[in-house]
Amino acid sequence: MSITLSPLSLSPPSSLPHAPLHHLPMAFLRHLKLRHHRRRRLLSVAASVRQDTASWTAAPLADVRPAAESLFHVIVDVSDSPDLAASHVRAGQYLQLRIPNAEKPSFLALASPPPLAAEKGVFEFLVKSVAGSTAELLCGLGKGDVVELTQVMGRGFDVDQISPPEEYSTVLIFATGSGISPIRSLIESGFSANKRPDVRLYYGARNLQRMAYQDRFKNWESSGVKIVPVLSQADDNWTGERGYVQAAFSRAKKLYSPLATGAVLCGQKQMSEMFGSKSSLAVVAIKQG
């Protein structure tokens, strides 16, 4: 099952008259204004109810450390919350995390594979520190600080759609920036990559300083995943792929059969648009950042 994000429709209802606002009666304009404010209030109340009724579990941070420029490894100890740990069942899932003095919770994709919660009692995340956000406050915390988490949510990556491996001999994986987080979970969860002749990860970043998980590349390669780093602003010493991941893929030799190929994407919208016209590919999961 593909996971897609669709923009909300902002088109006016068909019942509204097709006339300039200055041609509408003043009483009707006041009615529209009141209805607009009432709708906004109802939406705000509904959002507050959804947030207040969420089940939150307090858990301490086990570690917070730099992963790359503007990116941080965040590890949460969930060993005292077995129900929370057990709610992570598939790569590509996410949860909400909130901290004291932050107005809004953050939605974070889990970077650790599901078995890690049972084995070591931790959830791991790759968090991009954005100025003025809850994520920035989170990245400034340290070991022992307490955060609150919801249960894990989402369907995650449905790898059953690219099974059995002999029928889907090629799997193309695309990620940019912090979008590598759920991809790490996918690779380390295992999807029979070593039983497929062609599994490639096109991983895009501005430069090597912004590319997380480089210390894991060797292990990922040994599991059957070929890593193709793609830098959009590389220095003169870089000899690998340049530009954007979709361009790097377009330059690659097409040594695959579309009907036997699956694609997993996590990152910029342009990547999903690139595959939108390739209906013959089995695009099993799309997460747009």
In this predicted model, what pLDDT tens digit does every residue of 144-199 receive, in sequence order?
999 999 999 999 999 998 999 999 999 999 999 999 999 999 999 999 999 999 99
Q: Compute the average pLDDT of residues 92-106.
A: 93
Q: Which residues contact 78 (CB under 8 A, 6 or more apart)?
A: 57, 59, 84, 85, 117, 121, 122, 123, 149
Inter-residue contact 76 to 147 (CB < 8 Å): yes
197-235, pLDDT tens digit by residue? Answer: 999 999 999 999 999 999 999 999 999 999 999 999 999
Q: What is the pLDDT of residue 3?
A: 33
Confidence band for 27, pLDDT divided at 50, 70 and 90: very low
pLDDT band at 52 (very low <50, low <70, confident <90, very high): low
Nearest in space to 93 (alpha carbons), one of 212, 181, 190, 223:
181
Residue 43 pLDDT > 60, yes or no? no
| pLDDT band with cut points at 50, 70 and 90 for residue 254 | low
- C-alpha distances in angstroms, 163 versus 160, 168, 201, 279? 5, 7, 18, 18
Q: Residue 56 above 80 pLDDT?
A: yes
Answer yes or no: is pLDDT of 82 > 80.
yes
Query: How many Cβ atoms are within 10 Å of 256's Cβ, its own excluded?
Result: 17
Find, among 161, 77, 148, the residue nearest to 112 by Cα: 77
Rounded Cα distance between 20 and 25, Å, is 11
What class does CATH assign to 159-287? alpha beta
The CATH fold of domain 56-150 = Elongation Factor Tu (Ef-tu); domain 3 (2.40.30)
56-150 and 159-287 in the same fold: no
**Does the structure show a pLDDT above 90 at 275?**
no
Domain boundaries, the chain: 56-150, 159-287
Confidence check: pLDDT of 136 > 70:
yes
**Between these two residues, 165 and 19, which has the higher pLDDT value?**
165
Judged by DSSP in three states, 274 sits in helix
User: What percent of the chain shows pLDDT beyond 70?
Assistant: 72
Whether the predicted pLDDT of 13 surpasses 60:
no
Angle at 123 between CA 170 and CA 210, to 5 degrees: 65
